Each structure stands twice: as structure tokens, then as C-alpha cells.
Amino acid sequence: MTEQTEVSLIVGLGNPGPRYEQTRHNAGFWFVDALAREFGVTWTEQPKHKGWTARASTGGHEVWLLKPSTFMNLSGESVAALAGFFKIPAEQILVAHDELDLPPGTVRLKRGGGHGGHNGLRSLVEHLGSRQFLRLRLGIGHPGHRDDVVDYVLTRPSAEDRTAVERAVADAVEVMPQVLAGDLQRAMTALHSQRD
């Protein structure tokens, strides 16, 4: 069955400020920044939505982009504020985030599921009251032991890993027209067949 739910809000998860800008945990920010460049839109700080927003129009579809200015653990506050204000249901939200369980350079698209220990996703589920948002999972690899995860996600990737993640971001940007149109199956097929 082909899913046909249009996306009205694309969220990138990350931590604000220069200290975190280049860290693995900010892969979601890297994605929405690339998307903003692709769409030719600029970010505006929106205190009432606790984040930076941009409004894009592409292929006849209007979409909000959002980077929460809360820290990762409170991302849901920002997303719920904007989604609530514009009456955007969870099903029409796409959340881009770093994914420990995928190697750098891998990108996957899925709907729903648990938070997998990711504090940003945990906050979203809590504040939206739903798990049915889409997830764009950007692989960053795993340090090998769970005790090393916090330090790992809050440090910069190697040059090789960064290049791989940026390649995955570019692949994801490429399928966004299908995602925005609600043709998720086509987008998933294109993404999941790349570089496997």
C-alpha cells in the first residue's frame, strides 16, 4: 500500500550554539540547513516557537522547516509549539535525527516506532502525544559501547565520517519532493537502494 500523507513540517534535531554545531548529534540540523539552501530560504528566530523557522514552497507544496533552539532533550517543546499553532498533525511531521544504529553514509526513512534511547525523539513523543511522525534517520555509527555514547554524539566525526553523513544528507534532500508530495514508498525505495 502506498502511503499518501503530505508533509507540512520538517524538523531537524540538534543542539544550539557554536559548541555543538559540528557534532554528530547535530546531523538533523545539517539536513534542514541543506534543505533550506536547496529551497533558497533563510532562517528566522521565532521565540514563541522556541526555534528557528523557514517557510518553503516547492512543487506546489508549502512546508515549514524548524530547528529547535531548546537543547536536544527539550526538542518536543518547540515542535509541539509550532505544530499546535499551525494545527499540523504528527502524521504530517518529518523529523531528521542522528542514528547510532546505522553506519555513517546510511539514511533511512520510516514512520513511527520507539525513541530508541534518543532524547530528542523521546521529548517529541512526550509533547506530541504520538509516535506517528516520520523519521529521517541519518547514520552516525556507534562507538561500540553504550557508556561511550554521550561523549561520542557530542564530538565531531572524523573527516571521512562527516563526508559520508553529508553524502547521506544530499541523498535525502534529493527525495524530498516525493516526501512532500506524500509518495513515501517511492522516496523510501530510492533512499534505501542507495549505497547498500
Give the domains, in start order, of the chain with CATH numbers.
9-192 (3.40.50.1470)
Higher pLDDT, 177 or 2: 177
Can 127 be counted among the known catalytic residues? Answer: no
| Total residues found in the chain within this entry | 196
| 25, 49, 97, 127: the active-site residue | 25
Q: 101 and 142 in contact (C-beta within 8 Å)?
A: yes
Residue 195: predicted pLDDT: 52
Work out whether strand 9-12 and strand 61-68 pair parallel, antiparallel, or are unpaired. Answer: parallel
Q: What is the pLDDT of residues 54-82, one digit of tens each?
A: 999 887 888 999 999 999 999 999 999 99
DSSP annotation of 70 reads S
pTM assigned to the model:
0.92
